[in-house]
Amino acid sequence: MERRGGAVAIRAFMGKAHPRLDEKGRVILPARFRDRLSDGVVLTKGQEHCINVWPREEFDSQLEAVRVRSITSAADRAYSRVLLASANEEEADKQGRVTLASDLRQWAGLGQELTVVGQYDHLEIWDFAAWAAYEAAHDEGFAQLDEGGPPTPSLT
């Protein structure tokens, strides 16, 4: 976030790019995102079998949210275990490449062709075909949103 004249300007990750996975399991992160990722990233399993790429600071915020969850809730413990067990810290090299751990590549079913999608405070890495199928399945619903607007988070 940046402050501009008293207002907070959000610098969201947005848009998409189509890099390739190299033979060593590395991906070049899009240049327009690299300045926000310069302090390192944390790669984790994401929902719908993608890989989440968190700037270190944003992942620390996620950790705090996980930390305050109830240890008596089986769902909260499961989420915490899966998230933290899958977490890998990485730093981009001079070419902007990060290595995707083999277990994460397998989780996401990655081939060589990828799609990197901006998701406000993090990025998602998808197999190209999986993203195309996801986008096709959800585009019409997006087009048909009524005056109710975008979905709101559940409070339960």
> pLDDT per residue over 36-85, tens digit each?
999 999 999 999 999 999 999 999 998 888 888 878 889 888 999 999 99
Report H helices in the chain. 31-34, 56-67, 74-86, 102-108, 128-143
Write down the pLDDT at residue 156: 43
> Which distant-in-sequence residues (6+ apart) come within 8 Å of 25 by Cβ?
99, 100, 101, 102, 105
Burial label for 56, CB within 10 Å (0-12, 13-18, 19+), is middle
Which tokens hold the place of 95?
């070419």
| pLDDT value of position 11 | 77
Indicate the angle between helix axes 56-67 and 74-86, nearest 10 degrees: 160
Assign 3-state DSSP to the chain and report helix, strand, coil percentages, each to 5: 35, 30, 35
Interval 125-144 mean pLDDT: 92
Residue 103 pLDDT > 50: yes
Instruction: Note whether 52 and 123 are within 8 A (CB).
Output: yes
Longest CA–CA separation in the chain, Å: 48
Q: Which domains can be identified in the chain, with CATH numbers?
A: 10-136 (3.40.1550.20)
Distance set, CA 125 to CA 15, 78, 108 (Å): 12, 23, 8
